[in-house]
Amino acid sequence: MYQRMRNDKYYRRFYFQDSFYVQCQDIDSLSLIQFDRSVEQVKKIICHPVFKRAKKIIAAGCGDSNISSFAVKGAFEYYLPDVEYKGVEAIELSRHYDFEENESDTVALFVSKSGYVLRTIEALEQCRRHGVTTVAVTDGKDSETAKKADILYYENTPKGDNNAGLRTYYVSIISLIILAAAMAEIRTGESKLEELKVQVIKYHDAFFREFEKISDFCFITAIHWMDKEYFSFIADGPLFWSGKFIQAKMAELSGDVCAVSDSENYRNTNYMMGSEGKVGEIILLNSYETNISQVTEIANAMIKTGKREVILFSDREPKELDISEYVQYCHVPFPEEKWNFLAPLYVYLPGAIFAGFRHTTIGEPMFRGGFDPLIFAPTYYSPIDI
């Protein structure tokens, strides 16, 4: 049980100066700078013939990079409907993946900010052995990943604080989306990147107009939910991966456990997790999706039957979604329906801000104050300084 201070000015002073919150704010200015930098880099490599003939794309990474590989599936499906896109966890790709006899038309993207993550490098080597064309998507242009890959897609990210990998997640997502659009350009001969930029700006502006309100909402909730023992995140389809990213941030920042489930698994199992008062439930919902009725049914049941406290991050008011029970609502903009695949650019930010405020609330240092290399080295290397 934590003791609440009477005046929230005390909290505000700490919360809004926290380095992780500053990283969240930094996405605003980083967005378009990084867009242009990634476009500049993609133009240097896109003439490689494999991008024109590829029939299958595999994307792999570890941790946040792994999540980003799954989160951009919608973009590849939108731009390259005739190409099969698969996110594959690096451990699976390196140790278990069932390669075809002929992989000459397969491109594998290895996402790694530092370029030194060992499992990602192992997966890259395994792909090379099977004749897959490998692409390093990295900011470490002299790294092992960069050196070992057939093609280097250099992210060229502006310097900044990347502790807990918030900025780098954005960079991975935007770089991969830009690659999908650039591949579509060379395969169809039609311009794609200009239109993409217009849509990214549109979504960026809509999202960051709400940024302060979202931050205030997360601030109030973090204090209100001070005594929660764990968290549960419900998101379907492409938003599920934003949930996984938020789960990772909760672990890294405040050290809290956070379950992530889609609405079906929640309905079947996860509603039984914990008891009333202990769990903070968070729903991420895009009103363009076809899962609305199922999610609203669950939201009502969570509160009425489960006596849970629920946050709804959505682009529409609870009443408009037929949520009759009381939920704490935070308006989160989504892209226009046709450009839904851009949602992974920003939609994780409210949850990430909450995770950051949570770590300030309970006074828990990020990464528990550092980590012991004895424990997970030599197979694991984090981009944070040891």
Q: Which residues bind other proteins (CB under 8 A)?
A: 62-64, 66, 77, 81, 84, 89-92, 95-96, 98, 100, 114, 116, 118-119, 143, 229-230, 236-238, 247-248, 251-252, 254-257, 259-260, 262-265, 268-275, 289-291, 364, 367-368, 371-382, 386
CB of 82 to other proteins, least distance (A): 8
The residue type found at 185 is E
Tell me whether residue 19 or residue 269 sits nearer to other proteins (CB atom): 269
379 closest CA partner among 93, 121, 87, 67 = 121
Tell me whether residue 190 or residue 385 sits nearer to other proteins (CB atom): 385
CB of 208 to other proteins, least distance (A): 27
CB of 383 to other proteins, least distance (A): 8
CB of 3 to other proteins, least distance (A): 18
Q: Phi then psi for 379, rounded to 5 degrees? A: -90, -10
Note whether 325 and 304 are within 8 A (CB). Answer: yes
CB of 28 to other proteins, least distance (A): 26
Tell me whether residue 119 or residue 316 sits nearer to other proteins (CB atom): 119
Q: Phi then psi for 280, rounded to 5 degrees? A: -95, 120
CB of 369 to other proteins, least distance (A): 11
Tell me whether residue 67 or residue 330 sits nearer to other proteins (CB atom): 67
How far lies 159's CA from each of 155, 177, 367, in Å? 12, 21, 21
Tell me whether residue 92 or residue 212 sits nearer to other proteins (CB atom): 92
Tell me whether residue 28 or residue 77 sits nearer to other proteins (CB atom): 77
Tell me whether residue 97 or residue 153 sits nearer to other proteins (CB atom): 97
Tell me whether residue 19 or residue 191 sits nearer to other proteins (CB atom): 19
CB of 131 to other proteins, least distance (A): 16
Tell me whether residue 42 or residue 166 sits nearer to other proteins (CB atom): 166
CB of 246 to other proteins, least distance (A): 11
CB of 68 to other proteins, least distance (A): 13
